[in-house]
Structure 1
Amino acid sequence: MNFRRFLIKRIAISIVLTVVAVSIIFLTMRLLPGDPFGSLVASGDLNTEQLEAVRAQYGLDQPLWVQYVQYLGNILTFNFGFSITQGRPVWDILFPQLVATLVLLVPALIVTAIVSTILGMYAGWNRGSTFEKSSIVVTTFFRSTPIFITGIFFLIIFAYQLSWFPAFGIRSPTANPDGFFELYLSWDFAKHYFLPFATSVLFYSGDFLLLSRNSIVERKGAAYLKLHAAKGLNEAEQLARAGRNSMLPVVTYFALRMGMLFQGVITLEVVFAWPGIGRGLVTAIQQQDYPTVQAAVFIMALAVIVMNLLADVVYARIDPTVSVGDNV
């Protein structure tokens, strides 16, 4: 019963946060200076009557509160409408960009979590060793360096100086892939993928390594490990048991990091000209394409809210005292 109340409360909070997020998106776009159709009028592509007709088509001639009610109903039912600048359904524009972003970041985060957690456990078990000190220095350096700085550095060295990898994009200009698998399962894609993938892995590695390292340090020397040692278990077996008992903070942080997957994605995609949702958002903001910007930011905000909810649920299921304490 306590967990059910905990879950209902967290879902209610998530719904409120979603409404607040979409409301902020709406107001922010309306407060931007200029008009999304201003360039068309200035270039002579639209006259005054045509401008009014187009504004009416997108509902921009309505009072602000009417626009807000319509927008809230549409966005919460995933009816994103049509792009102002491209005249296409917004979802048709965003879906390929979202796939490109997820293909880049999800594998990077999974690889980072697995490798860095294992290395962090080994570093914590061998506290004071050269490996522990060097791993902390390296991962902390890349974590504290803005992701776009690391990306630019990699471009200068590996793309422009050594010419080992392409400098930008998701495929070569001469490539003409037919479908998802030909695009994402090709050597050409792998060459374009390596630098942004490596940049992401190095950026996120410090969090998981330090978290798992600290968890092992706290547990090393615990009574149950001494008992295992007395039974004749070697250090590798003791580390495996300590690792299992220290996974709670790592699992929770992984869920939270999945929710913050889009953090830093805009600068990363701009640096590598990766055709993802972050780069598409920058273009849509520059063009004041209200429907596209609103949909892109909504998708990002919803990912954060849903994954935070999932992290709370996972934590509560692993550690029941969380849900009990929440209802005290």
Structure 2
Amino acid sequence: MSQFQRFLAKRLTVAAMLTLVAVSVIFFTLRLLPGSPFTTLIASGNLSDAQVKEIMALYGLNQPMWKQYLIYLQNLLTFQFGYSIRQSRPVWSILAPKLANTLILLIPALVTTAVVSTLLGMYAGWNRGSSFEKGSIITTTFLRSTPVFITALLIIIVFSYNLGIFPPFGMRSITATPTGLLDTYLSVDFLYHYILPFGVAVLYYSGDFLLLSRNGVVEKKGSEFLKLHRAKGLSENEQLLQAGRNSMLPVMTYFALRLGMIFQGLILLEVVFAWPGIGRELVIAIQQQDFPVVQAAVFIMALAVIIMNLVADVMYAYFDPTVSSGGEA
């Protein structure tokens, strides 16, 4: 077995263990919380004791904890998420549209930021010490260090309440009744609601990509291969492209990591804008102690993050063999 294959096997084992830990933590945490999903119904007096026991048996909550845990793991392995306690319908039918809403918002924002901020970072790194470099670093660092909900609230105050240009919350108007996929995500009404949360997400992601690409170009600017290209008569722009291309690995790795984290959404962003994404749905499900929805949402989020971390590790090891060899030359 080659060094790369051993590295891959090790990373796959770690990924499996992390997934087990993540889903186990959420399982036991939910069941150790005070009360139960049926506390409100019991207190209202709408259900008799017999009805409560029947419902708990239906969801397997009358079983010993260890048995519930084994059933839970078996269901996750087969992607059977069960039925929502509060909404009485399949969990996947609840989460699928919410996940789509999150991805529709955040993937374009991430791609846009990755492209634009990386190019700006390359230019800033090539012109080290310039006013543009100093200004871009200060601006992006400030935006990245500001909590996303603060940025979102400020944007809403300015563009929704003061200027009245864009709606402050939601994915569409209350009276809107979309009839299909195109009408849902490409209508003027949707785009009108989309601009503010998309803009905040772009601002949130911009700092990391700009600083990563800037640092990479600064590191490569004085390297021997660029001196060789300069001696061959390459123009300033061509040298910049060469430096940028050779400093892309950290940016690509970070993009893969961020792509995995997108599946959990920017929870605070979705809450502030009342965007019906998976992050906001998770918050609602936790408040209602809707175990099946919470468990499925956390499983999807954890799996996406762990898989993309694995992809980033493997990609880095593939392009840089010293990683898989433990740093040996």
In structure 1, distance between residues paired with 2:311 and 2:225: 31
In structure 2, distance between residues paired with 1:220 and 1:175: 53
Normalised TM-score (structure 1): 0.97
In structure 2, distance between residues paired with 1:61 and 1:323: 48
More deviation, 148-157/181-190 = 181-190
User: Aligned residue for 2:218?
Assistant: 217
Alignment of 1:184-199 (within 5 A): 184-199=185-200
Deviation digits for residues 85-127 of structure 1 (CA, Å, limit 9, x no counterpart):
0100000000000000111111111111111000000000001
SS in 1 for 2:166: coil
Look up the equivalent residue of 1:242 and give its one-letter code.
A
Look up the equivalent residue of 1:202 and give its one-letter code.
L
8 Å Cα contact 1:6-1:327 kept in structure 2: no
In structure 1, distance between residues paired with 2:327 and 2:22: 25
Gaps of 5+ in 2: none
User: Aligned residue for 1:247?
Assistant: 248
Look up the equivalent residue of 1:181 and give its one-letter code.
L
Look up the equivalent residue of 2:244 and give its one-letter code.
G
In structure 2, distance between residues paired with 1:327 and 1:134: 40
User: Aligned residue for 2:287?
Assistant: 286
8 Å Cα contact 1:259-1:308 kept in structure 2: yes
SS in 2 for 1:82: coil
User: Aligned residue for 2:272?
Assistant: 271
In structure 2, distance between residues paired with 1:129 and 1:187: 41
Look up the equivalent residue of 1:278 and give its one-letter code.
G
More deviation, 120-129/248-257 = 248-257
In structure 1, distance between residues paired with 2:192 and 2:3: 51
How many residue pairs get aligned? The number is 328
In structure 2, distance between residues paired with 1:263 and 1:179: 25
Look up the equivalent residue of 1:184 and give its one-letter code.
Y
**What is the root-mean-square deviation in Å for CA atoms of aligned residues?**
1.3
In structure 2, distance between residues paired with 1:216 and 1:315: 18
8 Å Cα contact 1:147-1:264 kept in structure 2: no
In structure 2, distance between residues paired with 1:213 and 1:323: 26
User: Aligned residue for 1:318?
Assistant: 319
User: Aligned residue for 1:14?
Assistant: 15
In structure 2, distance between residues paired with 1:71 and 1:159: 44
8 Å Cα contact 1:6-1:326 kept in structure 2: no
SS in 1 for 2:262: coil
Deviation digits for residues 192-218 of structure 1 (CA, Å, limit 9, x no counterpart):
111111111111110010111011111
User: Aligned residue for 1:181?
Assistant: 182
User: Aligned residue for 1:229?
Assistant: 230
Gaps of 5+ in 1: none
8 Å Cα contact 2:282-2:293 kept in structure 1: yes
User: Aligned residue for 2:93?
Assistant: 92
In structure 2, distance between residues paired with 1:323 and 1:150: 40
How big is the shift at 1:141? 0.6
